[in-house]
């Protein structure tokens, strides 16, 4: 009995690592294995009751979850990234001058030195996309230029961050989508800067007042 215990104590455990990604088809019931994962992080795997249980392993605290993460309570204690949505709807008879979109209310203005047409960025923000939908238009060949502008903390100079001109033939009551990759520069605004969105039509797109429906989506890097 004592010799058997000594044998078990001195016996080296079999290597549980596999270079293959583990799945139900290459594991036996009750098997535990460490293997490569889709994320390139190794994962700890257990096959039990014909189900595969898996958790990613991390050398630096960065974790990868293959699918949906469900929790009863979630609290951020350092940093996180999410996407925030802002409404810029307004009604106007546009001409070919630049209009700054409202972040609150429904009134656009000719500059960004107005409370309704500038947003004070609380964190680093990147314009992920802009959705733009006009009502009925008289001039379908009008081009629309979108510009992200900022005023840095400490000065009132208006800096152009990025721009994009939509030159495709317009269709009334149809949504235009401007993505981050469409801009000529990275549409990034740092914490503490005022940010505005300028809109300019190449020619008056209609001869009377109509509604413009505009939504922007911003990637926001929150630091607690």
Task: Establish if 114 belongs to a structural domain.
Answer: yes
Amino acid 41: pLDDT: 78
Task: Establish if 68 belongs to a structural domain.
Answer: no
Q: How far apart are the C-alpha atoms of 187 and 196, rounded to whole Å?
A: 11
Residue 101 tokens, joined: 């979109």
Across residues 142-150, what is the average pLDDT? Answer: 97
Amino acid 8: pLDDT: 41
> At 6, is the pLDDT very low, low, confident or very high (cuts 50, 70, 90)?
very low
Amino acid 15: pLDDT: 59
| Pair 209, 84: CB distance under 8 Å | no
State phi, psi for 3 to the nearest 5 degrees.
-65, -35
The number of folded domains in the chain is 2
Q: Mean pLDDT, the chain, as a whole number?
A: 90
Q: Are residues 106 and 162 in the same domain?
A: yes
Q: Are residues 117 and 214 in the same domain?
A: yes
Q: How far apart are the C-alpha atoms of 47 and 66, rounded to whole Å?
A: 17
Q: Are residues 94 and 139 in the same domain?
A: yes
Highest mean pLDDT out of 23-27, 181-185, 202-206: 181-185
Task: Establish if 64 belongs to a structural domain.
Answer: no
Query: How many residues are there in the chain?
Result: 224
Q: Are residues 106 and 212 in the same domain?
A: yes
With 0.85 as the threshold, say if the pTM is over it: no
Q: Are residues 130 and 212 in the same domain?
A: yes
Residue 84 has pLDDT above 80, yes or no: yes
Burial 48-81 (b: 16+ CB within 10 A, else e): eeeeeebebeeeeeeeeeeeeeeeeeeeeeeeee
Amino acid 107: pLDDT: 93
Q: How far apart are the C-alpha atoms of 185 and 20, rounded to whole Å?
A: 42
Q: Are residues 43 and 129 in the same domain?
A: no
Cα angle 85, 90, 95; round to 5: 125
Domain that holds residue 170: 79-223
> At 42, is the pLDDT very low, low, confident or very high (cuts 50, 70, 90)?
confident
More confident residue, 208 or 39: 208
């Amino acid at each position: 009995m004592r010799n058997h215990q000594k044998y078990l104590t001195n016996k080296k455990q079999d290597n549980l690592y596999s270079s293959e990604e583990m799945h139900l088809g290459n594991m036996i019931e009750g098997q535990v294995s460490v293997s490569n994962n889709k994320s390139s992080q190794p994962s700890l795997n257990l096959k039990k009751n014909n189900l595969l249980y898996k958790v990613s392993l991390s050398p630096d605290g960065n974790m990868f979850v293959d699918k949906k993460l469900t929790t009863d309570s979630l609290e951020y204690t350092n940093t996180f990234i999410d996407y925030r949505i802002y409404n810029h709807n307004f009604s106007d008879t546009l001409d070919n001058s630049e209009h700054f979109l409202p972040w609150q209310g429904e009134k656009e203005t000719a500059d960004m030195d107005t409370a309704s047409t500038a947003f004070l960025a609380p964190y680093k923000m990147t314009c992920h996309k802009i959705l733009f939908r006009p009502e009925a238009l008289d001039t379908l060949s009008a081009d629309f230029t979108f510009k992200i502008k900022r005023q840095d903390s400490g000065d009132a100079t208006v800096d152009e961050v990025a721009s994009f001109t939509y030159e495709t033939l317009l269709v009334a009551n149809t949504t235009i989508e401007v993505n981050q990759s469409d801009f000529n520069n990275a549409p990034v605004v740092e914490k503490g800067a005022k940010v505005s969105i300028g809109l300019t039509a190449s020619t008056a797109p209609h001869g009377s007042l109509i509604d413009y429906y505009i939504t922007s989506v911003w990637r926001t890097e929150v630091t607690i």
